[in-house]
A and B are shown apart, each in its own frame.
Chain A
Amino acid sequence: MASTEIYRYLSVGEQSIPLDPEGYLVNMNEWSIQVCERLAEEEGIALTADHWEIIHVLRDFYARFEQAPAMRPLVKSAGQALGPEKGRSIYLMKLFPGSPAKVGARLAGLPKPANCL
């Protein structure tokens, strides 16, 4: 769930972007490509075009349904948007190791997915 508690700040150029205790944006509107890149750096992820595709899938999902997806619907959305070979959990695990739904949501500037381990 979205948290309003400011735990620390992410510095992006001149800006300080507040993050909650789990590293999600406190204010979703502050998301930008630069913010996403800095968050990815923290995760040790070098963003590629494949990552951006999934980040857009995540942001589209939120725009439609007002929630970040758990793994199952993320896999399904990726498959619908990008084709069956990308709608697989192994593919997403490679891009966003650990928990693709959670890491992906964080980088995409979404709240933490609610229905997720």
Chain B
Amino acid sequence: MQDATSPAELMVILRHAPHGSSWLKEGLDVALVAAAFDRRVTLLFMGEGITALLEGQQAGPLGQKGTAPTLAMLEMYDIDNLLVEQRGMDELGLTSDQLMLPVTGVDDAEISRLVASHALVLNF
């Protein structure tokens, strides 16, 4: 994790679970567009948004695309600063070895520091 965040940095907060709404997809799209234009992107998964990282996800029952392939693709866009809200993990009873990508847990103090230090924070 970087301490000095340049003004060009974007933080996208993902707080919605896959499949139930399009919020997660839209947040990921914004992150990818920003990365495609060479912005450094930090992704923070909070609350139910953490479930997007669970292993073993699939397409929806009607064949709707899931978000797991997109999450796997983040690395190709050099989006590698993946954070999860530690309290959200605890509330869901999850541990990081159940997640499909390597993540860093952050507590409330760290989250507020990140919100303050990124030039742009987009909440999804």
Which residues does A use to contact B, with CB under 8 Å? Answer: 61, 64-67, 69-73, 76-77, 114-116
Assess whether B78 is in contact with A76, with CB atoms less than 8 Å apart.
yes
Tell me if B69 counts as interface (CB < 8 A to partner A).
yes
Query: Does B77 interact with chain A (Cβ within 8 Å)?
Result: yes
- With an 8 A cutoff between CB atoms, is B107 at the interface? no
A115 and B32 within 8 A (CB)? yes
Could you tell me the distance in whole angstroms from the C-beta of A4 to the nearest C-beta in chain B? 15
Which secondary structure characterizes the binding site on chain B?
helix
Residues of A within 8 A of B73 (CB): 64-65, 67, 73
Q: Is B70 an interface residue when CB atoms closer than 8 A count as contact?
A: yes
Bound Cα distance from A73 to B32, whole angstroms: 10
B23-62 interface (Cβ within 8 A of A): 29, 32-33, 35-36, 38
Interface positions, chain B 7-22, Cβ under 8 Å from A, are none
Give the CA-CA distance A72 to B78 in the complex, in Å: 9
Q: CB within 8 Å of A: which of B52-95?
A: 65, 69-70, 72-73, 76-78
Instruction: Find out whether the CB atom of B69 lies under 8 angstroms from the CB atom of A66.
Output: yes
Q: Which residues of B contact A116 (CB under 8 A)?
A: 36
